[in-house]
């Protein structure tokens, strides 16, 4: 069983990337699960908020990500980069264990929830590049947190409004690309764990 935690970089309820994560839940390989965690209630990263303890929303996010075996991020593209809420979540998840009164779960050896966590990125956008620039930006941020991002396969759902109907991903080439990413993530997580 591979436990994957998903994060949507958009806060909008009807977001294309939220719909993409919902599609992922139905395209997972056998033996994998996906739990999507919310980031909209996180305060802006501020070290002053770490004492005496992190805000409850931050603790909730960290508790959800710590035990994951893999991370899946649906990344929108805002002005050729990643949206502020997603960067904020990464910043909170990158803080070292023990700061803010929260320690790693018993037996956990990673120093942060992100360190060493196998990760895949995908994204949907109305534009022609399908979040390619934002995904590159996100890869750079995750590199500095010690988060191994799967080099491929990749999924860029371009022209996305035409590929979803009623919030469901109906475009077969896009579904095939997403399926390859999910299978790759499960394999990537198993190889890094070995």
pTM: 0.94
Per-residue confidence of the chain (194 residues) as pLDDT tens digits?
Answer: 899 999 999 999 999 999 999 999 999 999 999 999 999 999 999 989 988 888 999 999 999 999 999 999 999 989 989 999 999 999 999 998 666 556 666 766 667 899 999 999 999 999 888 899 999 999 999 999 999 999 999 999 999 999 999 999 999 999 999 999 999 999 999 999 87
Alpha helices (runs of H) in 8-131, residue ranges in sequence order: 16-27, 56-65, 84-93
Strands (DSSP E) found in the chain? 2-8, 32-37, 70-74, 119-124, 155-157, 164-165, 168-169
């Amino acid at each position: 069983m591979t436990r994957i935690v998903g994060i949507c970089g958009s806060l909008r309820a009807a977001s294309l990337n939220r719909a993409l994560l919902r599609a992922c839940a139905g395209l997972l390989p056998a033996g994998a699960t996906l739990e999507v965690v919310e980031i909209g209630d996180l305060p802006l990263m501020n070290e002053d908020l770490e004492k005496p303890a992190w805000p409850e929303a931050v603790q909730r996010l960290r508790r959800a990500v710590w035990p994951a075996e893999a991370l899946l991020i649906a990344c929108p593209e805002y002005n050729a980069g990643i949206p502020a809420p997603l960067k904020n979540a990464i910043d909170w998840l990158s803080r070292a264990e023990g700061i803010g009164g929260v320690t790693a779960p018993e037996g956990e050896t990673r120093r942060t929830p992100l360190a060493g966590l196998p990760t895949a990125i995908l994204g949907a956008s109305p534009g022609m590049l399908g979040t390619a620039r934002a995904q590159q930006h996100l890869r750079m941020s995750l590199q500095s947190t010690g988060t191994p991002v799967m080099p491929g396969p990749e999924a860029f759902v371009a022209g996305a409004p035409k590929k979803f109907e009623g919030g469901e991903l109906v475009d077969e080439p896009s579904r095939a690309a997403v399926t390859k990413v999910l299978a790759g993530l499960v394999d990537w997580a198993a190889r890094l764990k070995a």
